[in-house]
Amino acid sequence: MGKPTDLVQGTLDVLILKTIALQPMHGWGIAQRIRQLSNEVLQVGQGALYPALHRLEQQGWIQAKWGESENNRRAKYYSLTHDGAKYLRQQQAQWNRLSGAIDLVLEAT
């Protein structure tokens, strides 16, 4: 069985986009929210998270702004751009089609 952090390629990007679609968050908060929402199954380490955030920012799907965290430390807060929201909708639709097809195969008797 794979490690809990093994994700289908590109899935991390969609998880990040979905997480910050609700509200701007800093990196640590994004990782914690993904962990919480997945019932502790998905644990995103810094080595995967920050390169993904950088890539998403370069693609124009997220933007970053410095702010102050809950414990009064400087933190970079990431939010979804208009293009990021559009991309997220497309990726969610594609994921739903793919997971539905996989379910059909797995449930076949």
The confidence score (pLDDT) of residue 41 equals 92
Q: Does 75 reside within a domain?
A: yes
6 found inside a domain: no
Is residue 4 situated within a structural domain? no
pTM of the model: 0.86
pLDDT of residue 1: 40
Mind listing the pLDDT tens digit for each residue in 43-66?
999 999 999 999 999 999 999 999
Tokens 């990196």 belong to residue: 27
DSSP track, 3-37:
-TT---TTHHHHHHHHHHHHS-EEHHHHHHHHHHH
Closest residue by Cα to residue 19 from 9, 29, 6: 29
Residue 22 sits in a domain whose CATH number is 1.10.10.10
Total domains in the fold of the chain: 1
Asked if residue 20 belongs to a domain, the reply is yes
The tokens for 15 are: 């998880």
User: DSSP assignment of 46-92, as one string?
Assistant: HHHHHHHHHHHHHTTSEEEEEEE-TTS-EEEEEEE-HHHHHHHHHHH
Say which DSSP state 42 is in: -
Given this model, what pLDDT does residue 7 score? 60
The pair of three-digit structure tokens given for residue 24, joined into one six-digit string = 């701007």
Residues with pLDDT less than 70, the chain: 1-9, 109
Contact 47, 69 (CB under 8 A): no
Range of the domain at 93: 11-104
